[in-house]
Structure 1
């Protein structure tokens, strides 16, 4: 990290917020990767503060900005996801959901329709992403373990 005057700053950066993804433990590897990518894509569009500055290499080649902080990935049972979803809703935290139905749709319109067709309490969740204050996100993730 550097300060505004381009002098090195060795102070560790600590965030008072957390970006977390919770995946259902019975997903196949390709599903885990796919769900994670889809879930976190929603956060940056609605929460511009989670996006850092653009990157550039030593040649000046520009690269897209990415999240300013790590994305922590957790896993849990279907029941853990359902409980976490309820806690995220009750706390009003920004969230994204991925349901099992989305593995069978082929486009964004059908994805939205599949989620819209089911009430919040009946969603067959395979993943959720949550952003917010560290302690609130930690409470949402209660019962989940770090992804191996």
Structure 2
């Protein structure tokens, strides 16, 4: 990816979900996204008392509010060739209903994409493309 001023990362979370599910979805999206953009995790640092703190992402990650329809529409757009170079991580009811990953692998293979209800989606890529998708969306508060 290019310079940091040319990239953007956002999460869009279904605001209608319970707070615990919102937190869980955000955490899962962030961990998965970090795997795919490790170069944006900064170096470890020490504070003034010499205590070590692990590096965190070096760019902001605004959390935007959506609902299941808005997130579905975003996911569909992200499957198009216009956004092939954008990283998209989604978290759905299918994933949330599974306790172990092997169960998720089995279950997801039997459910059509249009049957997924998305709880959230993380989007990373070219700033203009991300803004085109999410630029008018409000922050989740």
Q: What number of residue pairs does the alignment pair up?
A: 135
In 2 relative to 1, CA 55–117 (structure 1 residues): closer, same or farther, beyond 3 Å? farther
SS of equivalent to 1:23: strand
In the alignment, structure 1 residue 73 sits paired with structure 2 residue 63: yes
| Candidates 21, 38, 46, aligned match of 2:28 | 38
Q: Give the TM-score normalised by structure 1.
A: 0.80
| Distance in 2, Cα, partners of 1:116 & 1:130 | 23
Deviation at 1:41, TM superposition (A): 0.7
Alpha-carbon distance in 2 for matches of 1:35, 1:49:
23
Specify the alignment match of 1:29 in structure 2: 19
Which segments of 5 or more consecutive residues in structure 2 lack a partner in the other structure?
A: none
Distance 1:76 1:49, change over 3 A: same
RMSD: 1.9
1:142 positional shift: 6.0
Larger Rg: 1 or 2? Answer: 1
Is the CA contact (8 Å cut-off) linking 2:94 and 2:116 kept in structure 1? no
Q: Which moved more, 1:101-110 or 1:24-33?
A: 101-110
Gaps of 5+ in 1: 1-13
Matched, 1:115 2:108: yes
Name the one with the larger helix percent: 2
TM-score (norm 2): 0.84
Separation of aligned partners in 1, 2:114 and 2:106: 16
Alpha-carbon shift at residue 60 of structure 1 (Å): 2.5
